[in-house]
Structure 1
Amino acid sequence: MTTENHPQEPRLLPWAGQDGKPCYVIGEGRGLVTDLADGLEEMQLSMAVQLLDHSRAALNRAQPPEHAELLFITNRLTESLGDAVRVADSRGRRLP
């Protein structure tokens, strides 16, 4: 949204560039890059929900998960949390 009181700020994209640096898009919120970013954000959040369900199920089993499974879950949760924080940051910056 571009108004006199809220100049348009670059949108933080849900992926990183070279060396892990943040990527941004400048525009009015329409276009191929924006559509791609919206779709990726939705996919990331959906995957986070699925991973959370899987993690809870693994931790609630009668037999506890083995070390390798816990390491896998921890790594995926860390990645997913990073994605979710980036989405929240990007969306928060766009609030009026």
Structure 2
Amino acid sequence: MTAPHELRLLPWSGPEDKSCYLNTDDSGGYMSRLADNIEAEQLGTAAELLAQALDTLEDQETGLEDLRLLAKELTDALRDVLRVATSRGHLLAVSDPHRP
């Protein structure tokens, strides 16, 4: 998944919310597969939250606390999706440096 000698941004953060990177040429290794699986889960969670948000916003009976909780969950999901997009965007740039 990564080009030789390229660091892969992992879909989780470390202490103090610092980015974590994987240094490997083995896209089929345990850590690469784990990262792939977690990215897939994060994207699936974001899709589910989007559907929930659409339903919640249509419901006129939704209370302020429910909206706050939904906003918190959406914020967390957006952070995760942005990390995945950043990682995959970097991989695209590395694999095809002439791509705009």
Instruction: Report the TM-score when normalising by structure 1.
Output: 0.89
How many residues align? The count is 91
Question: How much does 1:9 deviate?
Answer: 1.4
Counterpart position of 1:68: 65
Counterpart position of 1:86: 83
Query: Matches of 2:87 and 2:28 in 1, distance apart?
Result: 16
What residue identity is the alignment partner of 2:31? Answer: V
Kindly provide the CA deviation profile for residues 49-80 of structure 1, in whole angstroms up to 9, marking residues without a partner as x: 0000001001112x241010000000000000
- Superposition map of 1:1-96 within 5 A: 1-2=2-3, 8-28=5-25, 29-61=27-59, 63-95=60-92, 96=95
SS at match of 1:12: strand
Instruction: Report the TM-score when normalising by structure 2.
Output: 0.85
What residue identity is the alignment partner of 2:39? Answer: E
Query: Matches of 1:64 and 1:83 in 2, distance apart?
Result: 29
The percentage of aligned residue pairs carrying the same residue is 38
Residue segments in structure 2 that go unaligned for 5+ positions in a row: 96-100
What residue identity is the alignment partner of 2:38? Answer: L
Q: How large is the Cα RMSD of the aligned pairs?
A: 1.2
